[in-house]
Structures are given as structure tokens and as C-alpha cells.
Amino acid sequence: MTRSKNNTNTSPSRPVQPNLNNPEDSGSPASLSRPTPSPPPPCAGGARVASPLDAQRISVPTPTPAASAGNFAGCTARYSGAPQESLDAFIDVVESYKDCTNISDGNAVLGLSMLLTLDAATWWQGFKATVTSWDDALRFLRSAFGDRHPPHRIHRELFSNPQTGENTELYISKARALLARLPPGDLSEKVKLDMIYGPLHTRTRQRLRRFASMETLLKK
């Protein structure tokens, strides 16, 4: 009896090759070499433990702006060069502001134009190119707008205004400010003391019979 032939393909089956382009294929080398990350264990109370990535994110420093250099932007003092304005009072305010805000001499020279108006501003525009230091700026400003009275007129102004009912400390301060307009070294300290002592009121002179310095004079 003849055996019937089987039409079914009896060739040995070939193994299925994994898809190397598909990382999700469980048989691919990528899936075999890459471990599956496990979530961090929860802390007590359900809070998540910070991962190394969080630590790196927290440790990144936040950039802070550099401290700005001091300037006269907040100074309200102004000087126009008008005769009725006091240059000495203006310089005193500016110097105090400069010291309190730690303004460098270079920034002070650059910012002086912010404080000058009218005639003083016009003078500074044509003169600032020759100024190399803060001391020079103040010296030239005093030379341009300071009291130009000769010494003998300053002496006459002091002796023509004796003390009457004015407070002694205030009168002495005004007299010292007046004598400060004299050229440096023009008078000794003793001569200045005598010039201030002379116009004082009689009762004040009797109370201040002996003094050796300006500080002693003010304390009495």
C-alpha cells in the first residue's frame, strides 16, 4: 500500500531574530544591558526621597548682580553759582554724602556734573577735561565761585559785626568760617583766637578770660 505524501513543509524552522532597532524588544542587547530604574523609596509620611538629580538642581548657585559703585544719584544738593548760594555749605554736604556712601574720588569727579546747574554747570562743562582728582575739582570750584574778597575786607567784615544777643557758639562758628576764607597760613592760630575774642560781647569776654585753643574757647 502506497503511503501518501505530506504536502506540509517539513524543513526545520529558523529561529526568530530579534529586532535590533526596537529597544522595547525583550531580546535586544539594548534592553538587556539597560537596567530598569527603580523609583526612590518613600520616606516616612509618604514624602519622596530627593534623588541625585534634585541635589544637583539645588546646588546650582543663583547668580547675583554685582554691587553697583557709589555715585551722586541720590544726593539732593545743587549749586548754580549764584551769589546768594553758599559754596562752602554745598561742598560740606557733598563731602559728607561722598563719605557716607563710599563714593570713590574717580566717581565723584565724574558725577559732579549731576549736582551743578546754570552757570556752575556751564563752567564745569568747559573745565572738567582738565580735572584729574577730586581735590582739584573742589579747589577749582572754590577758585571759580568762592569768596574773592581780599583779606582786609574779611577782617573788616569780622570786626564790623560784633556779638550782640547771638548764641556764643554760633557766633564763634560763623567767625571761624569767615576766617577760613583767608589764604592758608596767612594767620597763626593765636592771631585767629584774638580776632574772634575781640568782637565778643563784654559779658562773654569776662566769662572767657583764659583759653589756649579754639576747642577750649568753644568749651567755655
Q: Render each residue's pLDDT in the chain as its tens digit; 220 residues.
A: 445 444 445 555 555 555 555 555 545 454 445 556 565 555 555 555 555 555 445 444 444 333 346 889 889 999 998 888 888 889 999 999 999 999 999 999 999 999 999 988 988 888 788 888 998 898 888 888 876 677 888 888 899 989 988 888 888 888 887 887 777 788 888 888 888 888 998 888 887 765 555 556 555 5
CA 161 vs CA 195, 199, 203, 205: distances in Å = 12, 7, 16, 16
3-state SS, residue 75: coil
Contact 153, 132 (CB under 8 A): no
- Asked if residue 79 lies in contact with residue 120, where contact means CB atoms within 8 angstroms, the answer is yes
Q: Whole-angstrom Cα distance, residue 220 to residue 212?
A: 11
Q: Report the sign of the C-alpha dihedral through residues 142, 129, 94, 121, in that order.
A: positive
The residues, any chain, with a CB within 8 Å of residue 172's CB and separated by 6 or more, are 196, 217, 218
Whole-prediction pTM: 0.46
Q: Are 80 and 116 in contact (CB under 8 A)?
A: yes
**Cα–Cα distance measured from residue 7 to residue 108, given in angstroms and rounded to the nearest whole number:** 106
